[in-house]
Each structure stands twice: as C-alpha cells, then as structure tokens.
C-alpha cells in the first residue's frame, strides 16, 4: 500500500504535466515578403487566414533573420546558432545533421516531431520521428517526396499537397498520447512562382500597386547596391520567370489549364511589343501577380490547418507559429530575391497564436531574430535550453512582458559571394533607429537613419552630425561580433571576382 501512496501522486503529476504541455504547429514558407501580408499592411493583397493568426495572436514587426538566404536561415532556426557556428554559411554547404538541433531536444523531452514540405539542407532530416520532404528546391507541381520510408511522387499542387500530408498526419498517423511539434514547411512563394490552377487568373483585371522604390537609381550608397544583378528590369529575363511558355513540370491536363489562363495574356503581351518603362511595368505586374497568387495558396492552406485545429478541439492547446526563412523584395529597390541587410529581406514575417497566453491582436516591436526560435520552442515545451545556443526565448514577449535587459541591437552577416545576384559579403548591426553595414571586402561602410529614411535611399555614413552615432554603432558592432564569437571571413575570392573590387 505504501509504495502506491508514494507513486500514485507522482504518476498523477506526470499525467497532468504531459496533458498540459502544448503542441506546436510551425508553418514556415520560403521567401514570403511581409509586404505581401495584409496583417502587415499590404496594399497589394489580402491574406485572411494569416490575418486570423495576427488577430488572435501576436504580430512581430521587428522580426529579423541573421543571414538572409534559404538554407542558412533554416540552419539557424534548427540550431539556434549563427551561420559561422552551425557551418551553413551559404546555400552551397551540406547541413551537418549530426549537430545539436531543437527537434532532437524536443524528442528527448517526450515530444513527437514531424516535418512535411521543404527542407533544402541537402542532408536528410534528423531529429524528426517522421519526415516527408521535397528534394532540393522541389517543384510547384507533382512533387517527388523523400521520406523516412522511401520516396514517392504525388500528383497535384505542392502547397496543397504539403497541407494534405500535414493534415493526414494530424488526423491519422500521430500518437495522440504524446504532444507534438509539427512542421508544415512550404516551397511557396519561392521563385519561379507557379500558381495553383484556381488562382491563375486572379488579379487579371487589376494593377498591383508598385512600391515607391521600384525605379531606384542606387545613388547615395556604395557600389554594391548598383553592382548586384537582381533587378526586375534588367536581370529578370527567363521566360519561365515570366510564364511565357508552359512550365515543364506540368502534366498534359495541367498544361491545358495553364494554356487557357496564360495564352491570352501572353498573346496580348507579344502584340504590344513593349519597351522601356512600359516593359518594366509589365514585368513587375506579371511577377507580382504570380507571386501573390502563390501566397493565395499558402494563405488558403493555413486556413485549412486552422479550421482543422478548431474542429478537432486541438486549437486550444496548440501554438501556431507562422514565419518565412527570410523576407523578400517585391520590387523594392527594383529588385526580386533577398540576401541584403536592407529591411525588406532582413526582416521576416512572424505571427504567433497561443490561446490563453498571448493577448489577441497584440503587436510586438522588440528586436527578435530567427536565432531565437529554437530556444523559444524549447522553453514552451519545457525542455532545457543548452548554453551554447545563441538566441533568447521570446516566451516573455509572447506573454506581453519584455524583460528590461532585452537586446537593443541585432547582428547580421551575409556570406554568399561569389554567388547568384552578385550581392557582396557584408555584416552589420541594427538597433531601433540606425543600421550600420560593413561591406568588408571593400572596407566600405553605410549608415542609415531609419526614422528619417525608412526606404534606405541615402547612406549618412561620414556625414556631419553622424560622427557620434557612427562611433557608437561601430562599438556595438564589435561587441556583438565578440559576443557571438564571429571569426574573420577569410574565404578567398576567385581572381576574376577580385578585379571587380
Ligand atoms: Ca528563402
């Protein structure tokens, strides 16, 4: 009798503890500009389901990445460490999946972990009880999935299929006795922006507003802003980007639907023989509309997941997180793509719904980074946060209590040069008002006063009145580099590239 009296309360306590532990659904997209989310004030599209997350949860307006490029961002999210420590400096490396990641720690803490969708880290996923991922970038249609139980090809639209598989797992495959950490990670809206059949003609009868900086001339900044190769006007030339020919990945039936939607548009374009600014306008419209059509599918599928959480009763004890691996230029500075420490690609959307803990409709302005996600998930799930992770849990922020010693500035570094779009390597620091960028291979500096110049059109580095601010920002940059143990980036450049400097 005596052991039972002792053990029973322990068992009861453990049951209560595990019953209380929340589930997490982490929806992650690829290249989603916050400018294309109506909860963030988009004037270009409506995203009712993302808005639902914002209205019922918290919107982060100063969420940033540490390195604005796909695979490195994913590695930062998984490890809670900057690129120089997790080894994924660029898209070129293969992620070392043997290292410590938060999903492995959640498994140890008794969580069931599963991943569906885009992975993009070359090595096979580790730390997931079940995974089913696209190979590499993956196509928009008829994707091949690599799974922990072999490969399989599924016919249809990838954004829908990733959600179908996420829902299947929730409904039929998980162990309902265990809390879960579930990743639904989209390929969309990554280049080259192929919409689902139902959205191929959406926006046909309207113009998408242009951003103020679409015709940026790159004056008043150092050379890197003008030597890039990522403008919509000059560098977006691929007929597949513009959908002037049917995408190769479509089957015959899909091709018919495609032709019916795009051939009339393409015929009108060919007949118009546009030039100069008229051609730029057309390119922007074609690009922006296809991009937004891809977002429409992402948003619709988020709605499907939220509806299921409601219907199943899981919503109350399931935290839903939405973010993207980085932000994106939807024509700002004349660009597409990402990579820069300038705001549109440095920032990333972050929406979190946590019933009972987050005040509905709240907005957070603290400086947070994708570096913080791992420790946040660990704290929510009651697991220990290892000392060698470099972020900080945002759980207090979610509860509306910003600690007095919360960070006042953040560190950034981009490494992928030489590389696509010729964006020079740079690092820098941003606080609530200023941003200092060091293009370290040419030892050139830019400083932006974000209050006076939110579009970052004029570097005030070296200008009168900014000496003290520059000195303080440089000191802060050194402090952060020391804190994060950032080594010098001595990777050599090919001789041809060296001559560009
Ligand atoms: Ca990306």
- In three-state form (DSSP H/G/I as H, E/B as E, the rest C), the secondary structure along 293-315 is HHHHHHHHHHHHHHHHHHHHCCH
Smallest CA-to-CA distance from 39 within 17, 23, 63 is with 63
Rounded distance between C-alpha atoms, residue 27 and residue 117, angstroms: 10
Say what the pLDDT of residue 378 is: 98
Pairing of strands 112-117, 130-134: parallel
Ligand 1 centroid–CA 337 distance in Å is 9
Say what the pLDDT of residue 311 is: 98
Q: Which two tokens stand for residue 484?
A: 């994060």
Smallest CA-to-CA distance from 295 within 33, 51, 27, 26 is with 33
Average pLDDT over residues 271-288: 98
Ligand 1 centroid–CA 446 distance in Å is 25
Checking if the pLDDT of 6 tops 70, the result is no
Say what the pLDDT of residue 282 is: 98
Residue in the block written with tokens 């089957």: 251
Q: Are 335 and 33 in contact (CB under 8 A)?
A: no
Ligand 1 centroid–CA 6 distance in Å is 53
Checking if the pLDDT of 499 tops 80, the result is no
Q: Per-residue pLDDT tens for 255-266?
A: 999 999 999 999
Average pLDDT over residues 181-210: 98
- Average pLDDT of the chain, as a whole number: 95
Q: Per-residue pLDDT tens for 34-91?
A: 999 999 999 999 999 999 999 999 999 999 999 999 999 999 999 999 999 999 999 9
pTM: 0.96
Say what the pLDDT of residue 56 is: 98
pLDDT interval class at 405 (50, 70, 90): very high
Checking if the pLDDT of 356 tops 90, the result is yes
Helix ranges (H only) for 21-141 are 48-56, 70-79, 83-86, 102-108
Q: Which two tokens stand for residue 139?
A: 């196509």
Residue 207: CB atoms within 10 A of its CB come to 12
Q: What percent of the chain has pLDDT over 70?
A: 95
Ligand 1 centroid–CA 334 distance in Å is 19
Q: Are 78 and 378 in contact (CB under 8 A)?
A: no
Average pLDDT over residues 337-352: 98
3-state secondary structure of 275: coil
Checking if the pLDDT of 1 tops 50, the result is no
Say what the pLDDT of residue 237 is: 86
Q: Are 177 and 160 in contact (CB under 8 A)?
A: no
Ligand 1 centroid–CA 421 distance in Å is 14
pLDDT interval class at 3 (50, 70, 90): low
Checking if the pLDDT of 441 tops 80, the result is yes
Q: Measure CA 410 to chain center.
A: 17
Residue 481: CB atoms within 10 A of its CB come to 16
3-state secondary structure of 127: coil
Rounded distance between C-alpha atoms, residue 339 and residue 126, angstroms: 27
Ligand 1 centroid–CA 66 distance in Å is 13
Say what the pLDDT of residue 8 is: 52
pLDDT interval class at 496 (50, 70, 90): confident
**Which range (95-99, 242-246, 410-414) has the least confidence?**
242-246
Checking if the pLDDT of 18 tops 90, the result is no
Rounded distance between C-alpha atoms, residue 291 and residue 37, angstroms: 12
Checking if the pLDDT of 5 tops 80, the result is no
Smallest CA-to-CA distance from 333 within 194, 174, 486, 212 is with 212
Ligand 1 centroid–CA 70 distance in Å is 4
Average pLDDT over residues 212-235: 97
Ligand 1 centroid–CA 216 distance in Å is 23
Q: CA-CA-CA-CA torsion for 224, 226, 228, 233, nearest 10 degrees? A: 160
Rounded distance between C-alpha atoms, residue 457 and residue 460, angstroms: 10
pLDDT interval class at 238 (50, 70, 90): confident
Ligand 1 centroid–CA 17 distance in Å is 37
pLDDT interval class at 404 (50, 70, 90): very high
Residue 475: CB atoms within 10 A of its CB come to 11
Half-sphere exposure of 206 (CA within 13 A, CB side): 11
Checking if the pLDDT of 497 tops 80, the result is no
Pairing of strands 63-64, 368-369: parallel
Ligand 1 centroid–CA 427 distance in Å is 19
Ligand 1 centroid–CA 121 distance in Å is 12
Ligand 1 centroid–CA 16 distance in Å is 40
Residue ranges near ligand 1 (ion) with Cβ within 5 Å: 30-31, 70, 325
Please classify residue 439 by burial: count the beta carbons closer than 10 Å to its beta carbon, then call 0-12 exposed, 13-18 middle and 19+ buried: buried
């Amino acid at each position: 009798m005596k052991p039972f009296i002792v053990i029973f309360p322990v068992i009861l306590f453990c049951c209560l503890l595990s019953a209380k532990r929340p589930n997490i659904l982490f929806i992650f997209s690829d290249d989603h500009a916050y400018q294309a989310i109506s909860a963030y004030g988009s004037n270009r599209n409506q995203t009712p389901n993302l808005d639902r997350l914002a209205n019922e949860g918290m919107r982060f307006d100063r969420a940033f990445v540490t390195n604005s490029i796909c695979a490195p961002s994913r590695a930062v999210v998984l490890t809670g460490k900057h690129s120089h420590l997790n080894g994924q400096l660029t898209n070129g490396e293969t992620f070392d999946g043997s290292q410590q990641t938060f999903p492995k720690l959640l498994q140890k803490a008794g969580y069931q972990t599963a991943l569906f969708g885009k992975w993009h880290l070359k090595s096979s996923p580790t730390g997931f009880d079940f995974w089913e991922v696209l190979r590499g970038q993956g196509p928009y249609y008829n994707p091949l999935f690599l799974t922990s139980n072999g490969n399989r090809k599924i016919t249809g639209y990838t954004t829908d299929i990733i959600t179908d598989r996420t829902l299947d797992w929730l409904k039929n495959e998980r162990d309902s006795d265990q809390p879960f950490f579930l990743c639904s990670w989209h390929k969309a809206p990554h280049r080259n922006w192929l919409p689902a059949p139902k959205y191929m003609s959406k926006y046909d009868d309207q113009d998408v507003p242009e951003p103020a900086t679409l015709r940026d001339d790159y004056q008043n900044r150092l050379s890197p802003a003008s030597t890039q190769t990522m403008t919509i006007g000059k560098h977006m030339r691929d007929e597949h980007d513009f959908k002037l020919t049917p995408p190769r990945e479509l089957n015959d039936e899909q091709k018919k639907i495609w032709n019916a939607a795009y051939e009339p548009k393409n015929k009108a374009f060919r007949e118009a023989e546009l030039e100069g600014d008229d051609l730029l306008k057309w390119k922007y419209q074609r690009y922006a509309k296809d991009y937004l059509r891809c977002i429409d599918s992402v948003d619709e599928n988020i709605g499907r997941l939220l509806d299921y959480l409601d219907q199943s009763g899981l919503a109350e004890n399931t935290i839903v997180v939405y973010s993207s691996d980085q932000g994106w230029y939807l024509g700002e500075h004349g660009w597409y793509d990402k990579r820069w420490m300038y705001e549109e690609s440095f920032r990333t959307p972050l929406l979190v719904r946590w019933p009972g803990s987050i005040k509905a409709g709240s907005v957070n302005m603290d400086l947070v980074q994708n570096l913080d996600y791992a420790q946040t998930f660990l704290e929510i799930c009651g697991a220990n946060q290892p000392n060698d992770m470099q972020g900080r849990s945002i759980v207090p922020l979610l509860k509306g209590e910003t600690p007095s010693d919360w960070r006042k500035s953040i560190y950034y570094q981009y490494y992928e040069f030489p590389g696509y779009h010729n964006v020079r390597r740079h690092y820098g620091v941003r606080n609530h008002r200023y941003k200092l960028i060091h293009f370290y291979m040419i030892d050139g500096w830019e400083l932006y006063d974000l209050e006076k110049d939110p579009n970052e059109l004029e570097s005030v580095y070296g200008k009168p009145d900014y000496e003290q601010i520059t000195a303080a920002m440089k000191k802060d940059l050194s402090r952060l580099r020391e804190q994060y143990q950032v080594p010098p980036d001595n990777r050599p450049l090919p001789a041809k590239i060296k001559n560009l400097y």
